[in-house]
Amino acid sequence: MELREQRQETEIMGVAEAIASQFGYKFENLLERGNSNHLTTARNFAYYILHYDYGVSLNDLCKMFQRSNREVCYRIKKVRDKHEKEPAFQKRCEYIKSKLK
């Protein structure tokens, strides 16, 4: 792996860890199969932000979170739809993204 790729991977993992921490979790918690609403919401935000704001491919997200392509796509769409329709949800997303900078 090239140095540039290693830096990108380290940055992406740092962002994923920061997103998890905004919900009171560690990145490892996002890999769990648990379906509590709070954990699922944290994981969904991570998919959405990493894909749209950091350009992480769907295949890389699937590998990173150990999930199927179908699940990741469904969850990203769910967040995107809520983001477009619900101002409160959009504000929450923007708040989380502001904490990542």
Task: Find which of 2-11, 27-36, 60-69 is predicted with most confidence, using mean pLDDT.
Answer: 60-69
Q: Which domain, by its residues, includes 22?
A: 3-99
Please report the DSSP string for the chain in residue order.
--HHHHHHHHHHHHHHHHHHHHTT--HHHHTS----HHHHHHHHHHHHHHHHTT---HHHHHHHHT--HHHHHHHHHHHHHHHHH-HHHHHHHHHHHHHT-
Distance between CA atoms of residues 21 and 83, nearest Å: 21
pTM, entire model: 0.87
We report the CATH number of the domain holding residue 23 as 1.10.1750.10
The pLDDT score that the predictor gives to residue 59 is: 93
Q: Is the pLDDT of residue 7 over 70?
A: no
- How many structural domains is the chain composed of? 1
Q: Is the pLDDT of residue 1 over 60?
A: no
Span 17-61, pLDDT tens digits: 999 999 999 999 999 887 789 999 999 999 999 999 999 999 999
